[in-house]
Amino acid sequence: PRAAEASRHGLDSESLQRDVLENLVSLQARYPAIATPHDWYMALAYSVRDRLLVRWVETVQSYAARDVRIACYLSAEFLIGPQLGNNLVNLGIEADAREAMLALGQDLDAVMALEEEPGLGNGGLGRLAACYLDSLATLEMPAIGYGIRYEFGIFRQAIRDGWQVEETDKWLQKGNPWEIVRPEVAYYVNFGGHTHSETDAEGRFRVRWIAANQVKGVACDTPVQGYRVETCNTLRLWRSEAVESFDLADFNVGDYYGAVEQKVVSETLSKVLYPNDEPEMGKRLRLAQQYFFVSCSLQDMLRLLQQKGEPIERFADVFVAQLNDTHPSIAVAELMRLLLDECGLQWGQAWDITQRALAYTNHTLLPEALETWGLPLFRGLLPRPLEIIYEINRRFLDEVRQRHPGDESRVSRMSLIDESGDRRIRMAHLATVGSHAINGVAALHSTLLRETVLRDFAELWPERFHNVTNGVTPRRFLALCNPGLARLLDQTVGEGWIADLTRLRGLEAHADDEAFQQRWRAIKNANKEALAKHIHSATGVAVDPRALFDIQVKRIHEYKRQHLNALYIVALYQRLRREPQLALAPRCFVFGGKAAPGYAMAKLIIRLINGIAEVVNNDPAMEGRLKVVFFPNFNVKSAHHIYPAADLSEQISTAGKEASGTGNMKFMMNGVLTIGTLDGANVEIREEAGAENFFLFGLHAQDVERLQREGYRPADHVTANDELREALELIASGHFLRGQSDVFRPLVENLTQWDHFLALADYADYVACQARVDAAWQDPATWTRMSILNTARSGKFSSDRAIREYGDRIWGLAPMK
Ligand code: 26Q
């Protein structure tokens, strides 16, 4: 491949310019005078892709050679974000591309802005998978990402009359230049039917699965280029297709329509991403999606093993598969099935390989978010995997009984099947039993995981439990999205920070330097001006970049407590109306995030924020003091503008409920101060930044647990706090909904009667903490020093560190670099 490089793959601006022009003609069939901006985007994207392919082919070739272990990251979501800018950064050709496009009369930023967001994920978990792919490639670790190639990603969020409205995400409409479809890499996946036992030619007992239906999975690949290295890994997503031969019988009886209908059903499998960040139990199609991509991925691994000339016994030496939550946990049963039924191994050997090959990451402790499937649905779709799960369970519970004779309550607690109501399969138990390593995603979360959800398992196998605190990629979330700050960092600590984020510690020496502080502020101000423009064009609201930008962007969820933030804004509004002379610094509150379409309370919270925004922003008395913005359709693309422009990061979930959070880390890297609870990775962010550089408030996880156990009475907090009571009354009165008093009632009643996430219990402390924020902000030297120290001490939260830990502790895989 290198031979081709000189001619078509030069990294300088002249060869880029030449290839963009050539691609404009040969791929877009356009000439410059009539080319649309999107044509230019495509021409540049293809030129960049060409430059990735050389490295990609060589990387794949090197993995096919013997003696490398390959980490396979199995995830139902990969929220990869726009590709062009990131690939330019990682190839180190952003400046050359800019020059080339300028010579062609095009502005690189305008061209990049045209890329559609590949929204193949809901939020944190999907974005984490994408950050990990970036780090795996950057650390030159052999890895493949496996997932689903959704035709429609997460919905686009529009705001109409203050309400969220979902629009379909047609991200592929104009084509996807980053995808390479491989029709020859395809596998068949069974669904439904029944099983049949038989004795094979050698007299061995075997099970055959007589499927009612089969679907074909076709590989759709995206290159994942590491930062300034030769490694380019693969993200392999499966697209479902109809199996032609399965329709044959229908054709013979002349049922052409029935056959085509079957084809449509097969193709719906990878049609759309489920837009919930919590399982919607009982959705048959969702279970089918999960089994579909897991089966294709494991079959692909078996084929690669064969290609490498390795025997099946070596499967777990060549591959380790990380399960991103329980979504791919059916891999435990499917790998067993492939090893037993397809490869003819004995149970003991198959089980040993399965356990050694799999590892499971848990991302939630919330009981309502733990995935379970009812037996009838499961049996109807996956009869053979179910038989295998029964056998795994039988053997596992025997082991439990041996360790704890007579302890039948422990046996039923640990069973893979929940028999307490209608019988259901517990996917977290399946993933745990089938894995050699289980990890949580932040120190606090891993501790709570061992003490609560998986307590019995941690007691049985303490050595299998780990913590790997999440991380995010500094390439996308600092170098790419904050070029102004990146330049200052280069000049101050040297360019090495991008691949070794701990070098940012070198900034500490400049934290009190007045001239440096001034440059730091100038960069932040420029970013805020840019965000103000985006806010204006997206919402029509004019915000003043000199105000404190107080930002909460994340999925809308009661446990994340956007309503706590909203309550505080209402209280501020009332205070400012009563006391116009109050010496409060001007603030601009920005919210962003999607609500699951069926989550009524989350949608109501969005309506409330928009209602407050309408009243506050149109009140002349609030001019220059308070602004409220709901930024529609928060996604990776808009995140690029948001994190670098923030002053304050809201991380205010109920302690013990947010597994980690990763937005908190993206803010920190960009010099944003956190107001937060001791939850998820906030705990470690505060440890790293220093307690004096973090605005802490709220109950601790143990307090929350105790309060809920002993009986929590939210109404007591309302009685005790006039400001809070008045804020709730104002909301209930319809003041923020043009006088309609019924709409927000459920929200207010929910808070005053139940308040499942203790917003009212934390309210007073939150308000007091916000006063400390205001005081710190009023002293720019103090604030800027804290901001610099946050960036300086964010090194731990690079996904490079996280991936090294997975490599060392879980995969037995070291960086090649
Ligand atoms: C499951 C079954 C059926 C349908 C949907 C789902 C589903 C889909 C997505 C369940 C959960 C999710 C997403 C979860 C998620 O994003 N969790 C977040 O993961 C981050 C990365 O570890 C953490 O930082 C966050 O704390 C956690 O909430």
Distance 278 CA to ligand 1 centre (A): 6
Residue nearest to atom 4 of ligand 1 (CA): 279
Contact 360, 432 (CB under 8 A): yes
Using 50, 70 and 90 to split pLDDT, how confident is the model at 201? confident
For residue 480, being part of any structural domain is answered with no
Catalytic residue among 363, 424, 563, 594: 363
Q: Is 238 exposed, middle or buried (0-12, 13-18, 19+ CB in 10 A)?
A: buried
Instruction: Compute the distance between CA of residue 811 and CA of residue 792 in angstroms, rounded to an integer.
Output: 30
Distances (CA, A) of 775 to 362, 664, 674, 689: 39, 22, 15, 19
CA of 147 to the centre of ligand 1 (A): 15
Residues 461 and 517 in one domain: no
In this prediction, residue 262 carries a pLDDT of: 75
Tell me which residue has tokens 């019924």: 742
Q: Whose CA is nearest to atom 15 of ligand 1?
A: 125
Q: For ligand 1, pick from 277, 439, 682, 684 the residue to mutate: most ligand atoms within 8 Å of CB.
A: 277
Which of 163, 219, 212 is CA-nearest to residue 190? 212
Of 75, 65, 70, 235, which is closest to residue 141 (Cα–Cα)?
Answer: 70
Which residue among 285, 325, 360, 651 is best mutated to probe the pocket of ligand 1, counting the most ligand atoms within 8 A of its Cβ? 325
**Same-domain check for residues 459 and 604:** no
Residue nearest to atom 2 of ligand 1 (CA): 279
Whether 699 is in a domain gets the answer yes
Mutate to test the pocket of ligand 1, among 278, 322, 806 (most ligand atoms within 8 A of CB): 278
What's 403's domain CATH number?
A: 3.40.50.2000
Which atom in ligand 1 lies closest to the alpha carbon of residue 286? 3
Query: Phi and psi (nearest 5°) for 216?
Result: -100, 135
Confidence of residue 252 (pLDDT cuts 50, 70, 90): low
384 located within any domain? yes
The 10s digit of each residue's pLDDT in 109-126 is: 999 999 999 999 999 999
Q: How far apart are the CA of 241 and the centre of ligand 1, in A?
A: 27
Taking residues 251-269, what's their average pLDDT?
78
Q: Which residue has the tokens 């302890």?
A: 407
Phi, psi of 124 (to 5 degrees): -50, -50
| pLDDT score recorded for residue 540 | 98
Ligand 1: which residue has its CA nearest to atom 24? 661
Q: Are residues 762 and 678 in the same domain?
A: yes
Query: Which has the higher per-residue pLDDT, 238 or 251?
Result: 238
Q: Can you give the pLDDT at residue 67?
A: 84
Domain count of the fold of the chain: 2
Give the residues across from 206 on adjacent strands.
198
Are residue 517 and residue 453 in the same domain, yes or no?
Answer: no
For residues 441 and 509, state if they share a domain.
Answer: no
Asked if 263 is an active-site residue, the reply is no
Is residue 488 a part of any domain in this protein? no
The one catalytic residue among 69, 286, 560, 603:
560
Is residue 260 over pLDDT 90?
Answer: no
For residue 596, how far is the Cα from the chain centroid? 15
Tell me: the pLDDT tens digits for 291-342?
Answer: 999 999 999 999 999 999 999 999 999 999 999 999 999 999 999 999 999 9
Distance CA 74, CA 60 (A): 18
Q: Name all contacts of 752-758 with Cβ < 8 Å and 24+ positions apart.
A: 752/714, 752/715, 752/718, 752/728, 753/714, 753/715, 754/714, 755/712, 755/714, 756/558, 757/558, 757/559, 757/561, 757/653, 757/654, 757/657, 758/654, 758/699, 758/704, 758/707, 758/708, 758/712, 758/714
Q: Are 375 and 306 in a shared domain?
A: yes
- 667-686 burial: b if 16+ Cβ within 10 Å, else e: bbbbbbbbbbbbbbbbbbbb
> Per-residue pLDDT averaged across 440-444, rounded?
98
On whether residue 54 sits in a domain, the answer given is no
pLDDT score, position 245: 64
- What is the reported pLDDT for 353? 98
Give the per-residue pLDDT at 261.
76
* pLDDT at residue 264, as a whole number: 81
Q: What pLDDT is attached to residue 1?
A: 47
Q: Which of 160, 82, 38 is nearest to 641 (CA)?
A: 82
For residue 116, the CA-to-ligand 1 centroid distance in Å is: 23
Residue 153 has pLDDT above 90, yes or no: yes
What is the overall mean pLDDT for the chain? Answer: 96
pLDDT digits over 393-417, tens only? Answer: 999 999 999 999 999 999 999 999 9
Our CA angle for 385, 294, 211, nearest 5°, is 45
The confidence score (pLDDT) of residue 275 equals 96
DSSP string, 520-539: HHHHHHHHHHHHHHHHHHHH
CA distance 474 to 668: 11
Are residues 452 and 551 both part of a single domain? no
Give the pairing type, strands 358-361 and 626-631.
unpaired
In a domain, 744, yes or no: yes
* Cα 739 to averaged position of ligand 1 atoms, centre (Å): 37
Strand partners, 497: none
> How far apart, in whole angstroms, are the C-alpha atoms of residue 619 and residue 617?
6
Residue 162 has pLDDT above 70, yes or no: yes
Active-site residue among 49, 555, 594, 640?
A: 555
Overall average pLDDT of the 199-206 stretch: 83
Same domain assignment for residues 210 and 340: yes
- List C-alpha distances in Å: 800 to 20, 711, 750: 33, 43, 42
The range of the structural domain enclosing residue 197 comes to 66-82+117-469+804-811
Are 217 and 303 within one domain?
Answer: yes
Q: How far apart are CA 654 and CA 591, in angstroms?
A: 18
662 catalytic per annotation: yes
Q: Three-class SS string for 273-322?
A: CCCCCCCCCCCHHHHHHHHHHHHHHHHHHHHHHHHCCCCHHHHHHHEEEE
SS3 content of the chain, % helix, strand, coil (to 5): 55, 15, 30
Instruction: Yes or no: say if 364 and 454 are a contact pair by the CB < 8 Å rule.
Output: no
Query: Distance between CA 15 and CA 103 in Å, rounded?
Result: 12
The residue whose CA has the least distance to atom 5 of ligand 1 is 279
18 has a pLDDT exceeding 90: yes
- Residue 255's contacts (CB-CB under 8 Å, 6 or more residues apart) are none
pLDDT band, residue 203 (cuts 50/70/90): confident
Indicate which residue of 234, 361, 372, 662 is catalytic. Answer: 662
- In the reported structure, the alpha carbon of residue 134 is separated from the centroid of ligand 1 by a whole-number distance in angstroms of 20
Which residues share a beta bridge with 336? none
HEC secondary structure over 39-96: HHHHHHHHHHHHHHHHHHHHHHHHHHCCCCCEEEEECCCCCCCCCHHHHHHHHCCHHH
Examine the domain organization and report whether 458 and 556 are in the same domain.
no
Q: What is the pLDDT of residues 798-807, one digit of tens each?
A: 999 999 999 9
Nearest atom in ligand 1 to the alpha carbon of residue 662 is 24
Order the strands of the 587-592 sheet from edge to edge. Answer: 626-631, 587-592, 548-553, 648-651, 673-676, 695-696
Looking at ligand 1, which atom is closest to the CA of residue 278?
Answer: 10
Q: Which member of 239, 475, 554, 594 is catalytic?
A: 554
What confidence tier does 251 reach under pLDDT thresholds 50, 70, 90? Answer: low
Choose one of 294, 330, 363 to mutate for the ligand 1 pocket test, by most ligand atoms within 8 angstroms of C-beta.
363
What does the pLDDT average to over 663-669?
99
- Cα 124 to ligand 1 centroid, rounded to whole Å: 7
Tell me if residue 666 is catalytic: yes
Compute the distance from residue 73 Cα to the ligand 1 centre, in Å: 15
Shared-domain flag, residues 718 and 777: yes
The phi and psi torsions of 239 (rounded to 5 degrees) equal -110, 135
CA–centroid distance, residue 673 to ligand 1 (Å): 25
Pocket residue to mutate for ligand 1, from 73, 122, 125, most atoms within 8 A of Cβ? 125
Query: Position 278: which residue type?
Result: E
pLDDT of residue 589: 99
Distance 363 CA to ligand 1 centre (A): 6
Would you say residue 477 lies in a domain?
no
Using one digit for the tens of pLDDT, what is the confidence trace for 464-519?
A: 999 999 999 999 999 999 999 999 999 999 999 999 999 999 999 999 999 999 99
pLDDT at 352: 98
Q: Would you tell me the crossing angle of helices 443-451 and 682-689 to the nearest 10 degrees? A: 140
Ligand 1 atom with minimal separation from the 128 CA? 21
Q: Which one, of 283, 265, 263, lies nearest residue 274 by Cα?
A: 283
Confidence of residue 247 (pLDDT cuts 50, 70, 90): low
Strand pairing category for 163-167 and 156-160: antiparallel
Whether 49 is in a domain gets the answer no
What is the mean pLDDT of the segment spanning 556-582?
98
What is the percentage of the chain residues whose pLDDT exceeds 90?
A: 92
> Do 459 and 582 share a structural domain?
no
Q: Is residue 199 pLDDT above 90, yes or no?
A: no
Contact 178, 83 (CB under 8 A): yes
Q: Residue 253 has what pLDDT? A: 65
Residue list, ligand 1 pocket, CB within 6 Å: 122-125, 128, 274, 276-280, 286, 327, 363-364, 371, 441, 470, 658-662, 680
* 680 Cα nearest atom in ligand 1: 26
Say whether pLDDT at 248 is over 60: no
Q: Please answer whether residues 324 and 74 qualify as being in contact, where contact means their C-beta atoms are separated by less than 8 angstroms.
A: yes
Catalytic (active site) residue 554: yes
Q: Rounded distance, CA 418 to CA 472, Å?
A: 36
